[in-house]
A = this chain, B = another copy of it.
Amino acid sequence: MRKGEVQIRRPGGKPGAWTVHDIAQVAGVSAKTVSRVVNKQSGVSEATRARITQIIEDVGYHPHMGARIMRSSPRDCIGLTLSAPPNEVPFSQQVIQRIFAELYRIFGAKGDYVCLDLNPFRRNPNADYARGLWEQRYGGCIVSGPLAIEDQSIVRIHRSGHPYIALGRLTDFPETSCATVDFEEGAYLSTRFLLERGHKRIGLLQGFGRYHSGLERRHGYFRALAEAGIEPDESLIRPVTFGSRDIITGVHRLLADHATTALIDSSGAEDAASVRDGARRAGRVPGQDCDIVAWTYTDNATVLSEACAHVWLPLDEAAVEGFDLLADWFHGLRDGPIHVVYPPTLYETIRSDEIPKPRPFFDVLR
């Protein structure tokens, strides 16, 4: 046996891991007393506590977490789930890194576990991304990503009373505990800005079409048009995914009609090259014969040099604030739900160089 290594058989030579009863037997006390020591409860004399603590350390005892959560729900493990398939809504490296850095800071450094439910979707497209909560695997969770139009899970989570926070919300369920940005307002700002510049036919490259954040984009766009007394035209809205080809085609189709003089790129892809490609195919020149408003998730950052304005949606920043509040809720320092909804900001001029398209995280290797 290696130096310093401890290896003590359970009393009676039983195999397997030590239990409170084993510790109790060795210490000559009852299991409940051991339990009190493990859980730092009062009602144990200092001498007994010290003795039991020593035995626990010597034999390397750890309480069985399965048995433990049968009596009380887990408060030392937070879940992180994806509410959308990563191939459909690719998380950028930057976003994931920021989320992890925060989880490390808030939960990890305290000794809490973080449990990832990385992708229930590949097995079952209608997977319940909260399954870890129902299984009592964790006692609270972060729902990372937009919520699908047909989403049922989030309301069930909400009703369950578990601490949770979603990085998105439901258009028809404003109670959702969330940390997100106001996409409706973003679309409204973008549209109004272009209307004020005299545009009448404004195309909307609409990201997240299958999700509530996509719906919000439509609503904001319609609201600005209605205020200006302009009849909306469905053909001016093109739902797009994050794929280059989709964005190229979307821009191409929208700008092919020369009566359309402006475009809002709310795709969320920050993919300047594809927007340019689409415009070129339509025979248009952004900044010259058409105005483009580009959406970005980075403050004061140019994602399309020719854009007449950039709208910043501070999603990461909202998430960071939300996580802190969730931690407090999770640890019993406050109640839920949480409502962090950051407003977007429209920049007409930005001095930064054009930042590159973000790299998807779950794609690092292939």
- Partner-B contacts on A (CB < 8 A): 2, 4-7, 17, 60, 62-70, 77, 86, 93, 96-98, 100-105, 107-111, 113-120, 122-123, 128, 131-132, 134-137, 150, 152, 155-156, 159, 172-173, 320, 361-365
Contacts and interface: CB of A to CB of B under 8 A. Distances in A.
Contacts of A103: 118
Contacts of A116: 108, 113-116
B115 A114 contact: yes
Contacts of A111: 119-120, 122-123
A332 to B, nearest CB: 19
Contact of A102 (B5, B64, B156, B365): B365
Nearest to A61: B134
Contacts of A150: 4
Given A105-B365, A107-B118, A137 B65 contact: yes
Nearest to A94: B364
B115 A62 contact: no
A152 B4 contact: yes
B118 A104 contact: yes
A108 B172 CA distance: 31
Contacts of A60: 128, 134, 156
A155 B2 contact: yes
A66 B70 contact: yes
A115 B118 contact: no
Contact of A63 (B67, B93, B110, B135): B135
A5 B128 CA distance: 13
Question: Among A109, A116, A117, A173, which residue has the most Cβ atoms of chain B within 10 A?
Answer: A116
Contact of A101 (B6, B98, B362): B362
Contact of A66 (B136, B172, B361): B136
A137 B155 contact: no
Contacts of A152: 2, 4-6
A331 to B, nearest CB: 15
Contacts of A115: 77, 113-116
